């Protein structure tokens, strides 16, 4: 944790001269494990708001209070959006952390033929249970702005009716058998599409291309989804 994130529920005092939050959940446990003590300073940030500095003003066995001031904007978001065929939940947890660290703010989790239907009933996707993994990525990268995750379990309605509105800049489809190599970054916005472990079907590839995507490859190696997604984002960014 490189920044302590809080929300409105944590604020116990807010005025022109004094702002205080009370932390009493797993964040408190984490801070105690890092040996923070009274009057120590640390980075703080309000979720979807500004960043700043805080000082521990009260320390109890069950909670701590931090007096803070927010003066800085969070890091600039990446000029990219991601469309990801829904991976298995254990992989998705790791990916959400990494994606949030890279500053991606718009993510679509998409259903395709090769995505197992059981993935959609995972508890991870219910009641925003994935939010804590996004927060971990923000805490690592000193960011405050939560990515927006949209669930689209029907392939064709999304590609034909929603892709154009969602996408920004070039639409880049990662496909191992494409003939065009993935290029180096051009500082232009883009939307990256990454398929499931077994890849997109030819029908799905054709539909993406019909709706404005350009298929590219990074070579003959077939990578795991979590490796391919982060590698491609890093390369293109």
Place of tokens 């065929």: 85
- Alpha helices, H only, the chain: 26-33, 89-101, 131-141, 155-161, 163-166, 202-210, 225-236
Q: Would you kindly state where each structural domain of the chain is located, as residue ranges?
A: 4-72, 80-236
Interatomic CA distance for residues 102 and 105, integer angstroms: 9
Kindly tell me if the per-residue pLDDT of 191 is higher than 80.
yes
Q: 80-236: which CATH architecture?
A: 3-Layer(aba) Sandwich (3.40)
Of the pLDDT bands very low, low, confident and very high (cuts 50, 70, 90), residue 222 is confident
SS3 (DSSP) at 135: helix
Query: Is this prediction's pTM over 0.95?
Result: no
Hey, what CATH class is 4-72 in?
mainly beta
- Are the CB atoms for 36 and 74 separated by under 8 Å? no
- Tell me: the pLDDT tens digits for 129-175? 999 999 999 999 999 999 999 999 999 999 999 999 999 999 999 98
- Are the CB atoms for 198 and 223 separated by under 8 Å? no
Interatomic CA distance for residues 63 and 74, integer angstroms: 26
Token couple for 115: 């995505």
CB environment 148-175: b (16+ within 10 A), e (fewer): ebeebbebeebbeeebeeebeebbbbbb
pLDDT at residue number 11: 97
Give percent of the chain above pLDDT 90.
82
pLDDT at residue number 185: 67
Kindly tell me if the per-residue pLDDT of 84 is higher than 70.
yes
- Count other Cβ atoms within 10 Å, centred on residue 13: 11
Interatomic CA distance for residues 113 and 130, integer angstroms: 23
């Amino acid at each position: 944790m490189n920044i302590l994130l809080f929300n409105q529920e944590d604020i116990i005092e807010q005025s022109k001269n004094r702002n205080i939050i009370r932390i009493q959940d797993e964040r408190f446990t984490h801070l105690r494990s890092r040996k923070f003590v009274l009057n120590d300073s640390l980075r703080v940030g309000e979720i979807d708001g500004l960043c700043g500095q805080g000082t521990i003003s009260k320390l109890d066995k069950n909670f701590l209070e931090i007096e803070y001031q927010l003066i800085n904007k969070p890091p600039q978001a990446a000029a990219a959006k991601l469309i990801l065929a829904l991976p298995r939940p254990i992989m998705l947890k790791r990916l959400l952390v990494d994606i949030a660290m890279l500053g991606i703010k718009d993510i679509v989790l998409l259903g395709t033929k090769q995505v197992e239907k059981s993935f959609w009933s995972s508890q991870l996707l219910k009641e925003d249970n994935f939010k804590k993994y996004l927060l971990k990525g923000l805490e690592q990268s000193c960011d405050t702005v939560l990515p927006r995750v949209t669930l689209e379990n029907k392939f064709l309605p999304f590609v034909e009716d929603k892709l154009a509105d969602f996408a920004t800049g070039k639409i880049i489809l990662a496909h191992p058998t494409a003939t065009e190599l993935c290029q180096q970054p051009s500082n232009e916005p883009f939307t990256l599409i990454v398929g499931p472990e077994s890849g997109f079907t030819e029908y799905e590839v054709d539909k993406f291309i019909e709706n404005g995507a350009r298929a590219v490859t990074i070579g003959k190696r077939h990578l795991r989804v979590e490796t391919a997604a982060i590698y491609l984002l890093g390369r293109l960014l």
